[in-house]
Structure 1
Amino acid sequence: MGVSDAMQWWDEWKLRVLILCSLSVQFFLYFSDWVRLLHKLRRLRVLVWMAHIGGDALAVYALAILFNRQKQQTADVESDALELIWVPFLLIHLGGQNISAYSLEDNELWKRHVITLVSQVAVALYIFCKWWSGQKKLLQAAVLLFVVGILKFTQKPWALRRASFNSMASRSLSVQR
């Protein structure tokens, strides 16, 4: 197997590999509460931090690949139907797990997450609308997942904003009055 064969294999399988890696990171983050709770597992905190940071990057990269595939229009009809489902699935991954941030300082970056939300939902809508015109097989499931994906992705900046120092300070001042 030469380099050109490996490159051809990667071009064919990179989206599937990225989806599986993103799913694996989400499962790892789901069960990472034990890393914070159990003293014996605290050595794994670096892995949790890397998964927390890298999970979004995997999903954004997969969305970029879907965007480029849509621009090139080289995918066959069967993969189009499945890739239509992957777009909202990636939005759900971008929503992440229900932890607000890995550290308190990360909560202050909620505005950056709002910008990411707007840009990635716009890219996902573009991909979705382009494939929607040609595919009717999985349309109902894709629309339902798309709505769930947008709602899940919206939770992340909202939770970060609510956990930011300024928001907590303003809430504590309003409670004291």
Structure 2
Amino acid sequence: MTRIMVPNGDGTTGWFDDERLREEFTETSVWDGNNWRGVCSGMQIKSAELLLTAEGRWVLHEDSSSEFNGPDSYRWLTDDEARVWLMKSGTGNRGPADEALEAVERLWPDVPEESGPSEGGRPAVGPAISVAYPEDLLQRIDAAAAKEETSRAAWLQTAAREKLAGSHRPCTAAEADEPGSGSGG
């Protein structure tokens, strides 16, 4: 067992056994006009490695000791950081690019084919639903929303939260029987 020490970022140190790795990926390289350089690390002589530990944690290993007289370093990566590293490594034209891209498809099967800037609009707050309201009730909702200077959707969300939290009084039988309420006669 070889314990490799990795700083946790909070002043403590974690470790993993480099003899029990689940997977190991070497970054690919790209020609910069003068040298082959790692697409993720930019290193020329050595390549960075992405390691998946036996416990399922991602570790980035960069050994720049022979290149910049720098450190032989390890650091933890999140799943998203590891996925991005593999996707970027898959763009190189020297080294195991196909292996990196196949790993992304295998380890993150739900990654969309495309991701980019939003086409505009508001961020989603939940799944959209379609609800039919009687016209007179919808007019009352719109009037109440306008009075509170908010949108119809925001007003309905607030009303639903208040009702579920119990801060709204139950409707009376007379209110339930109002035309268009859908619950009375």
With the length of structure 1 as denominator, give the TM-score of the two structures. Answer: 0.26
Higher helix share: 1
* Bigger radius of gyration: 2
Relative contact order, higher structure (CA 8 A, sep 6+): 1
